[in-house]
């Protein structure tokens, strides 16, 4: 299988893709870009997954319709207003696609449209349409502009890219994402846009994305709230010139590995930048009797408010980890469970066979004071494993969400 190499460029790393981000006026602050565009110079196979929240943003409805044929050319996304629960939401999303299609000379049905921001706020398509000329004129190798324009409460740009080989041909894949609050494992709970110049059929692209999401984006939790607007979209334009991947085999396995490298990197960035977060939490569960048990336990631990608060305070309160496992609904033997904490400061065992073991509080404090913490859970009941990502729960999370709208 081809080696996966990390490279620069984000969504512009792949051949045939350009991007830009501008301030159009959806946001009041003129210092913040609020409109992003990603464009392929040719038709691209496209696939997406969407939030499971029954309250869905209008852009998701429009995008889902547009991707029924598995083809797209452009992605346009605004921040500052979610275009959710608006009587004219569908009209705004469709008007946006129509205007962009006319200006680019492409079909409106080949446009993926997305919005993120405050829910239920009145919205108009006027500032978006008014900003399109400048947005299009500035298209180029501007991955960071696009990544900035989709941010809401994010504090950092989230971008990654990789190169890989398919049949001796170099292919590239890159992605950007936003996600800081309303992140909970119930796909899709953030905005993620991925581009690749690899030639892959829309059917196989959809299979790859659906399979990957269950192990990556569905394994993140910031605050237990599932968003209304968010989705993960992949565009594959085939510009690399590799033989089309349209069936299972080694080439598809390599593509899946590249996709997973991109998505895991973005998962870690999203979790680390959770609202008010100071620490990235990773829960690794091993020894489960089946995959679902491993996933259920891992998610329960990273979702536990008490565990998250303990991690913020660098308190090795391992009982909260066991508590989260106990109410997770997973069928486990609690008398076999082992727990340890690990960071670049070292590793410390705190629980064995469901009971506490003596440990140094000083070493535990040092380990949990780092900005990335691994919570290792061993169920000693099988060969399955899973990983979930989250963050600590801080005072700032309440502050941020206490005045999010005002």
DSSP letter for each residue of 1-60: -PPPEEES-GGGSSTTEEEEEE--SSSS-TTS--EEEEEEEEEEEEEEEE---SS--HHH
Residue whose pair of structure tokens reads 């690899």 in the numeric block: 198
The answer to whether residue 286 is catalytic is: no
CA distances to 338, 340, 348, 349 from 357, in Å: 10, 10, 10, 7
Burial 207-226 (b: 16+ CB within 10 A, else e): bbbeebbebbbbbbbbbeeb
Who's near 34: CB < 8 A, 6+ residues apart?
22, 23, 24, 25, 26, 27, 78, 79, 80, 149
Catalytic residue among 51, 95, 189, 233, which? Answer: 189
Residue whose pair of structure tokens reads 């892959």 in the numeric block: 200
CA distances to 8, 28, 98, 197, 229 from 162, in Å: 8, 35, 33, 11, 27
Residues involved in catalysis: 189
């Amino acid at each position: 299988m081809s080696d996966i190499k990390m490279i620069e460029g984000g969504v512009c790393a792949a051949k045939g893709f350009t991007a830009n981000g501008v301030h159009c006026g959806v946001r009041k602050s003129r210092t913040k870009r609020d409109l992003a565009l990603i464009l392929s110079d040719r038709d691209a196979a496209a696939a997406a997954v969407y939030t499971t929240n029954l309250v869905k943003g209008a852009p998701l409805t429009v995008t889902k319709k547009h991707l029924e044929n598995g083809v797209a050319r452009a992605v346009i996304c605004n921040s500052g207003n979610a275009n959710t629960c608006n009587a004219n939401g569908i009209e705004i999303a469709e008007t946006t696609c129509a205007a962009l299609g006319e200006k680019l000379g492409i079909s409106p049905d080949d446009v993926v449209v997305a919005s993120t921001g405050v829910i239920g706020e009145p919205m108009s398509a006027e500032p978006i349409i008014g900003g399109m000329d400048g947005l299009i004129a500035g298209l180029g190798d501007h991955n960071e502009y696009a990544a900035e324009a989709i941010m809401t409460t994010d504090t950092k740009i989230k971008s990654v890219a990789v190169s890989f080989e398919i049949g001796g041909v170099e292919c590239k894949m890159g992605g950007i994402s936003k996600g800081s609050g309303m992140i909970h494992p119930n796909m899709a709970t953030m905005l993620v846009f991925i581009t690749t110049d690899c030639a892959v059929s829309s059917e196989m692209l959809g299979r790859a994305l659906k399979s990957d999401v269950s192990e990556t984006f569905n394994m993140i939790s910031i605050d237990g709230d599932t968003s209304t607007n968010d989705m993960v979209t992949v565009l594959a334009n085939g510009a690399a010139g590799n033989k089309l991947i349209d069936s299972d085999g080694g080439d598809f396995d390599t593509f899946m590995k590249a996709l997973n490298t991109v998505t895991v990197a973005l998962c870690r960035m999203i979790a680390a930048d959770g609202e008010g977060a100071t620490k990235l939490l990773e829960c690794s569960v091993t020894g489960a009797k089946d995959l679902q048990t491993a996933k259920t336990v891992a998610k329960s631990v990273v979702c536990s408010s008490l565990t998250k608060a303990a991690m913020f305070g660098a308190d090795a309160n391992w009982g909260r980890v066991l508590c989260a496992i106990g109410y997770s609904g997973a069928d486990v033997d609690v008398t076999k469970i082992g727990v340890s904490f690990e960071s670049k400061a070292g590793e410390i065992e705190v629980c064995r066979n469901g009971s506490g073991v003596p440990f140094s509080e000083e070493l535990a404090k040092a380990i949990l004071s780092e900005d990335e913490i691994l919570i290792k859970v061993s169920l000693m009941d099988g060969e399955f494993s899973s990983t979930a990502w989250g963050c600590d729960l801080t005072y700032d999370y309440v502050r941020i969400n206490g005045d999010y709208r005002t």
